[in-house]
Amino acid sequence: MYSFIRKNAVMCIALLAAFITAFIVPPDRAYLDYFDYRTLVCLFCVLAVVCALKNINFFYMLAVRIVRLFKNARMAILALVYITFIGSMLIANDMALITFLPLGFFVLDSTGKRRYMAFTFIMQNIAANLGGMLTPFGNPQNLYLYSSYGIPTPEFVEIMLPPFLLAVALITLCCLIFVKAEPLDLPSERVKFKGNRTILYLVLFALSIAIVFRGIPYWIGLIVIPAVLFKVDKRALKMVDYPLLLTFVFFFIFSGNMARIEVVRQLFSTLLDKSTLLVSILSCQVISNVPSAILLSQFTENYADLLVGVNIGGVGTLISSLASLITFRDYVRHNPGKAGSYILKFSLFNFGFLIIMTAFMLLYK
């Protein structure tokens, strides 16, 4: 039980929050209106197909081929970070880290460059959190806000493009400054390519993306994708991050109840009227970016600042994003006894990014 709670801390906190607020606002028919069913279905479909692609080593093979193009540590680490950056735009930030952190470990461990591991993991983590901001499905909070507010896709990209470009520039600059251009040889490793499965899963992924962009009714994906994966890869369905889906469910209940408490509604409405951007960024540092997006969306129509805030707010504290906890857990598993030094480096880089990006967005407005 302790291990389960520790592994799924955010979900358990969300459950506790929903349970407590249910005493203040007893369950009734209005609870059914709390849930954004489309967001839940979209998230499930994307996660399921990504798990299937991961099972055939699609992303790993793609990443290895890209990294092999570079012959020194600086360029290889840049490639690893860029792959994570791009991956987060396509397969969500947490899945990008789960997929590409092992590649980062493989490259650095097998070439004797483990001294760059903390830096690489931190940059991959920042890249995952900030890279996913450009697409509606890149971060879970994006998917929710995009669906909840009905944000037009061109407007979504226009809102997120300035902080996205700044993030690219800052990440590139850090890699150029903190990694030396040392010779690097990657060991050869053969991975079997499964062509038919790859084509099938890419079609399913395209279907998922079409659902996200509202091109296809979401209920079609809920029928087709589980049916196909049940036939060809049941393991992918088992691998879906169901605790993440339940986290959304519990926070929908919590935020819905909070929105019905008049004192809370007045407090958040007043704070968000003063600065939606700053309130959302600070909220992420305390309760993480996904629950911040769900909660604060109940009290403001300023989705542009809220969207930016819960994205750049994903950097900062270790709990500001679930993706950061995934990275921390993976690093400590490979480097036992180095948690303290990692958290120090993590905080320096993350708060540096947070301060610069927050100042930029305040001036940009």
3-state secondary structure 2-27: HHHHHHCHHHHHHHHHHHHHHHHCCC
How confident is the model at residue 275, as a pLDDT?
A: 92
Q: What is the CA radius of gyration of the chain?
A: 20
Chain segment 35-84, per-residue pLDDT in tens: 878 778 877 888 888 888 888 887 777 767 766 777 788 998 998 899 88
Which helix H or strand E contains 61, and what residues bound it? helix 58-67
Distance CA 328, CA 314 (A): 14
Distance CA 293, CA 314 (A): 11
How confident is the model at residue 82, as a pLDDT?
A: 92
Distance CA 221, CA 207 (A): 7
Flag residues of the chain having pLDDT under 50.
none
Are residues 333 and 302 in contact, defined by beta-carbon separation less than 8 angstroms?
no
Residues 290-308: b if buried by 16+ CB within 10 A, e if exposed: bbbbbbbbbbbebbbbbbb
Half-sphere exposure of 43 (CA within 13 A, CB side): 26
User: Which residue, 62, 87, 51, 212, is CA-closest to 144?
Assistant: 212
Q: Which residue has the tokens 């700053």?
A: 278
Are residues 136 and 39 in contact, defined by beta-carbon separation less than 8 angstroms?
no
Distance CA 28, CA 35 (A): 13
How confident is the model at residue 359, as a pLDDT?
A: 96
How confident is the model at residue 193, as a pLDDT?
A: 64
Helices (H), 275-321: 276-287, 289-296, 303-312
Chain segment 313-337, per-residue pLDDT in tens: 999 988 788 778 778 877 887 888 8
Chain segment 183-204, per-residue pLDDT in tens: 876 666 565 667 788 889 889 9
Distance CA 51, CA 86 (A): 17
Within 10 Å of residue 355's Cβ, how many Cβ atoms?
A: 12
How confident is the model at residue 345, as a pLDDT?
A: 95
